[in-house]
Structure 1
């Protein structure tokens, strides 16, 4: 990524962390990046283009963190795979808490304080299901021959914590039994496992 584009995105991220997106002014972003407003418009076409670039950047940064979580402490063996899936779940929760754009990407919960994402049908649009599948597929590829359902379980458990955090988001009960521990406890069977009464419904 060219240095000028990177500086502009960093300046826009800083502005977004300080105030709602509708209050972010292009002239301020350009000044913070040390470029002219015309350079900013040449690079992104306008505020909408800058906002979409921020959304893509947030998705890319999150997925890079997914890759790091899956690679951390890589050793052969099932216990290692469980640890790496737990790391993936914890990264997802941390990233969503720290970055409103990541949370919106994962849940589909966009509010007026954030840039507007590309509309559905746009080739650049990224629905929450698309992102969750991308994470699952990366986990499957990194942890082969780990079953795909376990990778799916890690992603869905992490998303459940993003959507409905535990009682004490700062620690307490959630720290004692967070997504990583619940993943270990729930890892004995897939959510989609057949049950005895399914055939009579």
Structure 2
């Protein structure tokens, strides 16, 4: 049996299928969940608090799905393709997730202002969770990128559970003629590790950004072939950094 909090979130999401957020009344959300309006306010504090918690729930569900796909028995390119294709399918079916991933908010959906700092001192734990709100669009991209890279790096350290062993998303370039002297192998190895890490982050971010581009401007075919090409192609220019900033510590559930 769902908790009162979960029942309220489900009721609010169901109401969004029929009405714009501005027309949804808190009393109707509470009634649909089978609880009192006071229980709703105890959980979320306000309609904006309910909206933030609803979007947080969508973001969490999406990130859990990403982690599930990254944990499958497949090579690196296959898993990045799976995450991209699943992202497109889920976002098309879930308007709130689509808005979170693309930043495209319509009048139908809730788009509450950020929580005020003062609300963080609420004595109700659930209210503090509601106040935290969901990660922003750029944050979600960085979270998916970093979780993808972490899963693929883990495979390179421990290939056993996946049978055939992992493969990098793309071929590595030969840096043996780079700036590092062969007399300093420690420095050369450190530089190579930094480059490999940045290249993996770059390819993981390309995969999720291609998915979002396909979501906004759908192509005739699946996004899968585009992602596979992007994450396996040889880079022709020196790689300096990932596309986005590091993902935030807060909101990384």
What is the TM-score when the length of structure 2 is the normalising length? 0.65
In 1, Cα distance between equivalents of 2:234 and 2:30 = 50
In 1, Cα distance between equivalents of 2:209 and 2:235 = 10
In 2, Cα distance between equivalents of 1:63 and 1:132 = 10
What residue in structure 2 maps to residue 17 of structure 1?
17
1:19-54 deviations in Å (ceiling 9; x for gaps) = 211111111111111101111111111211111111
What residue in structure 1 maps to residue 190 of structure 2?
none
Contact 2:55 2:133 in 1 (8 A): no
Contact 1:108 1:128 in 2 (8 A): yes
Aligned equivalent of 2:80, options 85, 91, 102: 85
The answer to which structure, 1 or 2, has the higher relative contact order (CA under 8 A, 6+ apart) is 2
Question: 5 Å matches for 1:11-90?
Answer: 11-72=11-72, 74-75=73-74, 80-90=75-85
What residue in structure 2 maps to residue 183 of structure 1?
227
What residue in structure 2 maps to residue 132 of structure 1?
141
What is the TM-score when the length of structure 1 is the normalising length? 0.81
| Unaligned stretches of 5+ residues in structure 2 | 118-131, 157-167, 169-199, 240-253
In 2, Cα distance between equivalents of 1:192 and 1:119 = 41
Structure with bigger gyration radius? 2
In 1, Cα distance between equivalents of 2:45 and 2:116 = 20
Aligned equivalent of 1:159, options 205, 208, 212: 212
CA distance 1:101–1:69, shift in 2 (3 Å): same
In 2, Cα distance between equivalents of 1:106 and 1:8 = 23
| Unaligned stretches of 5+ residues in structure 1 | 167-172, 196-201
